[in-house]
Structure 1
Amino acid sequence: MKIILSLASGYGIAILVQDTRIGVGLLALCLLASAGAFAIDRLRLATEDEITGALQATKDQVHADLGVLNDQVSTHLTRLRDELDRHIDRVHAGVRFVPDNQGDDASGTGYNVATSAVRKAQRRIYVVGDYSPPEGEGATLLDPPDNRSEYLDAIEECLTTRLSQNGRGGTKLSYHRLIQRPPEVYAEIFRRSFNGVELRRDDMEGDLQAYEHLARVMEISRRAGASSRIDIQVRLIPFLPNCPSILLVDSEEIQFTIPTRIDQPGDQFALLGLHGVMVMEDRASGSQLCDHFETLFTRLKSKSLPIVKVLP
């Protein structure tokens, strides 16, 4: 545009010499065109500044709106999490009953679910053992199912595996078991125990399967020494009336065995059997169920005798 106006102005000056009227008109037209171009140029510059300012203002407003929206979303998510936590607390446990199928090929199902639980243990296996009185003093566990032996073996395998792991660090696996014995047997053991219980075979009459398990566990403890990988505590308590066997695994699961009597015609005393297992899964990271039972174990241990040796 400027080049064209310059040429027109030069041509107008040249015409001015020959024809004043035409030259003046042409120069006037060039001046008007130059003024218009200058005005348009100023308008363009002003428009760009306004657009830049408007864009910056829009950008600032978008940032402000996004900040407000982010705060609103965060508040809403917090409210949703709180609401979810309240719902979880209302339904904090999954409960199921696993019957023991006695007398058929699937016998021992209850102990199978216990075996499965201990194999997944990472931090703790706490047990209140079955109460199995000597023969003639009630329902006696004369012939425990093989599945119970597999459950006890699984505990020993977990301890041995954790002890044999290489490297430093890792989570300690604690195995604490409370053994229930008849009050008179407990009293006799208490009288002869000064620096801990040296458990005899006769002390466990009625549940020699558990006695053999304890002997193997104490051997594992002896091999472990001061190892930080496993913690084994076996203690003796008097019979707890109406207390089922309790299994606590980590902060996730509690199992209660429900015993039953197996009456046979002509028997003077019934045998002790397993009706089934009540399984409770803590879905609140242990806070609703498992932690309370850990407190129960702590209280029972304070009233128990430590077993320091299992005699052959």
Structure 2
Amino acid sequence: MPESDLRRFLRRHFTAIDLLKIILSLASGYGIALLVQDTRVGVGVLALCLLAASGAFAIDRLRLATEDEVSSALRETKEQVHTDLSTLNREVSTHLARLRNELDRHIDLVHAGVRFVPDSQGDEEDGTGYDVATAAVLKARRRIYVVSDYSPPEGEGATLLDPPDNRSEYLDAIEDCLTERLTANGRPAVPLSYHRLIQRPPEIYAELVQRSVNGVELRREDMAGDLQAFEHLARVMDIARRAGANRRIDIQMRVIPFLPNCPSILLVDDEELQFTIPTRIDQPGDRFALLGLHGVMVMEDRASGTQLCDHFGSLFGRLKTKSLPIVKVRV
């Protein structure tokens, strides 16, 4: 047994009482030996040893009793601490679960950030509604879904005769995103989808239905009132032709009949939803009212699309069932 182990063993199992017992045993033996030579001295030594032994055994019993009480007290303390810790753990778990539920509830209450961006109509300090649409489009990675403005021919409603430059920049940004995805190195994880639903007056839509067999061949006169969008469609269909079936981009241009009271809708990925709020610009004299933009309602879905974007994605899917696909644009 190593010296350190021997020292530890002796400290644990050999006490002063044990040493006293050894000395008393030796003294008793010596007293018995003295009985032969000197009875009186031997008896005295034995009596002294007997008294000392009685005291030593009494102390030893007290020590053993104390050790048992201490062990019992320690055991009870450990059991109580274990019980208290178990109770505390349950209380903490319950409290954390309650906090998580409260946090989830509050997140649901603020799942969307909403702001209104007024159209400046030329005031550069305020910015314009189309600028926020351009910014959203440039961040698109998965989808750009649009219900386009309703711009009827002149004389049939508020007409978009002179669209703002910012609208042109917004449409150009969409084309740039498609071209960039088409020419990028490597293969993207998902294609970039650009789906646009174009609202046309009921009579024009009815004519398109009549001449549509396997899809619409869109003509310039079909887009009277919004030739800017017509030029955009022509360029987008050319991009789709160049893309072929490489699955980098997914372009679907479709025509739907006029949806009363429906604003223009822009849905980008699972993050942002925008509504345009049109306005009527009345002109003096006999000239008919013009279509203007009052501003844009911008909503950011902070729940990974589950609270807003997914629902409007489903709306687009339902609207497509009432639409006609554009297969060619005749410039």
Normalising by structure 1, report the TM-score. Answer: 0.82
1:275, distance to aligned residue in structure 2 (A): 0.9
Partner of 1:291: 310
Shift of 1:177: 1.2
Tell me whether 1:237 sits opposite 2:256 in the alignment.
yes
Kindly state the Cα deviation for residue 230 of structure 1 after the two structures are TM-superposed: 3.8
The amino acid that maps onto 2:98 is R
Q: Contact 2:187–2:248 at 8 Å: present in 1 too?
A: no
The one-letter code of the counterpart of 1:212 is E
**Correspondent of 1:177 among 187, 191, 196:** 196
- Contact 1:110–1:277 at 8 Å: present in 2 too? yes
> Which residue of the partner structure matches residue 307 of structure 1?
326
Partner of 1:78: 97
SS of 1:295's equivalent in the other structure is helix
Q: Which amino acid counterpart does residue 137 of structure 2 have in structure 1?
A: V
5+ residue gaps in structure 1?
none
Aligned counterparts of 1:306 and 1:21: Cα–Cα separation in 2 = 132
Aligned in 2, Cα 1:106/1:205: closer, same or farther, shift over 3 Å?
farther
Q: Does 1:103 align with 2:122?
A: yes
Secondary structure in structure 2 of the residue aligned to 1:281: strand
In the alignment, what sits opposite 1:256?
A: 275
Q: How many matched pairs?
A: 312
Change in CA separation of 1:241 and 1:23 when aligned onto 2, cut-off 3 Å: same
Runs of 4+ displaced beyond 6 Å: none
C-alpha change, 1:260 and 1:55, in structure 2 (3 Å) is same
Q: CA RMSD in A?
A: 3.2
Structure 2: distance between partners of 1:47 and 1:197: 101
Shift in alpha-carbon separation, 1:9–1:163, aligned structure 2, 3 A: farther
Is 2:46 the counterpart of 1:27?
yes
> How do 1:93-172 and structure 2 match up within 5 A?
93-106=112-125, 109-163=128-182, 170-172=189-191
Structure 2, unaligned runs of 5 or more: 1-15
- Whether 2:295 is the aligned partner of 1:279: answer no
What secondary structure does 1:125 align onto? strand
Q: In terms of mean alpha carbon deviation, does 275-284 or 49-58 score higher? A: 49-58
State how 1:179-218 maps to structure 2 within 5 Å: 179-218=198-237
1:5/1:62 CA distance change after superposition, 3 Å: same
Of structures 1 and 2, the larger Rg is shown by 2
State the shift of 1:6 in Å. 5.1
What is aligned with 2:84? Answer: 65
Q: Which amino acid aligns with 1:293?
A: F
> In 2, are the aligned partners of 1:98 and 1:109 still within 8 Å (CA)?
yes
**One-letter code aligned to 2:148:** G
Distance 1:144 1:169, change over 3 A: closer
Shift of 1:100: 0.5
Distance 1:284 1:157 in 2: 28
The answer to whether the 8 Å contact 1:99/1:276 transfers is yes
Q: Which amino acid counterpart does residue 274 of structure 2 have in structure 1?
A: Q
Instruction: Percent identity, please.
Output: 80
Residue 169 to residue 111, structure 1, CA distance change in 2 (3 Å): closer
**Structure 1 residue 73: Cα displacement:** 2.8
Work out the CA distance in 1 between the residues paired with 2:311 and 2:131: 25
Q: What TM-score comes out, normalization by structure 2 length? A: 0.78
Distance 1:197 1:63, change over 3 A: farther
Distance 1:163 1:4 in 2: 102
**Residue 108 of structure 1 contacts residue 148 of structure 1 at CA under 8 Å; is this kept in 2?**
no
1:199·1:311 contact (CA, 8 Å) conserved in 2? yes
Letter in 1 for 2:96: L
